[in-house]
A and B are shown apart, each in its own frame.
Chain A
């Protein structure tokens, strides 16, 4: 007989299902219920930093658009600081930027988008600095446990080349699945990234 470890076990995940919108973005399900809604607009006029639009689509293993995905992103502010007490970097918090957003892919076009700012570089407690990125989490019908990935920026080639997470992706060709291309629309920067759940262009998903 040995001593017992008294850790609890994480609750099992279940799919978010086809009607995830009801709970998390009821407006997309077709009704209005809460006074305060969480959304894909992550900035206010006071938020510091370069305004950008991040948009993308999700494809399944047959190359078909997945149009019922819920996507969330989490990111540092323009100075590279997370709005969270565990981030003890000596950088300013932006009180006008939580750094989190939630979006559903459009039922017709399959496009999801976020209005946000470009994050700065974050230095981890181990001293390593990462390239600017968004943490991305997605759920939908058919996804049994939320998928974690990241979105990096194509115009940060040098920082990306030195990013400690990107560098851990052994197959170099697969690193490209996380890098959003930059274009401009009406004078505003648009970063676009398609996520492939499966298939030859399958996105790199993490188990952090």
Chain B
């Protein structure tokens, strides 16, 4: 039979065609919607299965941010709300890279972060914990990654605080992170913890994650090499967003 008579006459195959989208989310390392140990999830978790579909253009694209949108102090929580002096607390640098699952840096990724002050109190109208507000600490900041996917910010180490889950539940010291990749389906919110904190292993929110190594990757090690002598300590926190299928192949889509 000649090629001309075949119904499926051969055409050159290129795997990238039509392959917009991200690798499917690895649910083995992600918390389920309903996790009994974190009680608030009980009524806020869908009971139907998620509808799994390949990404369309709607999910493969996402908002683009520019360096001109951020202020000079946006990544300096020690100074960006200071009124009468520096905030109380252990001065630290938090830094790391945002990569995708292909280990490629995610460039111009908007990284936003927020946290409690050194006493474990948030500057938020709904937080009534008895620890005092620090007049010189706002508790939020943001950065855009550079060409290596690198970000950094200066802050003070947040304190642990009690919350209503069990009678005596305490959150380990943590910093919240919000991340954008190149596509809306990469959107991620997570929390960074600090090496050596005994509250991590008993935290119901940490333990919503079903995979021990995935939990370990949320624990930032002390990074003495990045510490500034007589000034601040440093912690390293790398994050990974979902990988894009198109970057696997030679003829890349524009924009990847």
Contact = CB atoms under 8 A, between A and B. Distances in A.
Nearest to B74: A34
B57 A12 contact: no
A31 B126 CA distance: 12
Contacts of A15: 38, 40-41, 189, 205, 208
Interface stretch (A47-55, A131-139, A153-161, A181-189): A131-139
Nearest to A127: B18
Given A137-B184, A208-B55, A11 B32 contact: no
Contact of B178 (A16, A85, A125): A16
Interface stretch (B5-13, B84-92, B213-221, B222-230): B213-221
Contacts of B29: 9-10, 12
A208 B50 CA distance: 9
A89 B64 CA distance: 18
B51 interface: yes
A18 interface: yes
Nearest to A67: B126
A122 B58 CA distance: 8
A130 B56 contact: yes
B101 A22 contact: no
Contacts of A137: 184, 187
Contacts of B185: 148, 208
Interface residues on A, range: 35 or more
Interface in B61-92: 61-64, 69-71, 74, 80-81
A14 B255 contact: no
Interface string B1-34: 0000000000000000110111111100111110
A28 to B, nearest CB: 8
Given A144-B31, A207-B53, A22 B139 contact: yes
A10 B30 contact: yes
A23 B187 CA distance: 15
Contact of A142 (B24, B40, B61, B176): B40
Given A10-B101, A87-B57, A19 B138 contact: no
B199 to A, nearest CB: 14
Given A19-B114, A135-B184, A88 B241 contact: no
B140 interface: yes
**Majority secondary structure, A binding face:** loop
**Majority secondary structure, B binding face:** loop
Contact of A31 (B44, B100, B123): B123
Contacts of B205: 14-15
Contacts of A60: 43-44
B50 A206 contact: yes
Interface string A1-40: 0000011111111111111111110100111011110000
A74 B71 CA distance: 24
B123 A30 contact: yes
B148 to A, nearest CB: 15
Given A19-B114, A22-B123, A14 B189 contact: yes
Interface of B: 17-18, 20-26, 29-33, 35, 38, 40-48, 50-64, 69-71, 74, 80-81, 99-103, 112-114, 122-127, 138-140, 142, 176, 178, 182-185, 187-191, 205-206, 208-209, 211, 214-215, 217-218, 239-243, 253-256
18 contacts: A8-B103, A9-B217, A10-B25, A10-B242, A15-B41, A18-B124, A19-B114, A84-B64, A125-B17, A140-B44, A142-B43, A144-B208, A174-B48, A198-B47, A206-B53, A207-B24, A208-B22, A208-B185
The 5 lowest CB-CB distance pairs between A and B, nearest first, are A85-B255, A23-B114, A142-B40, A142-B44, A100-B63
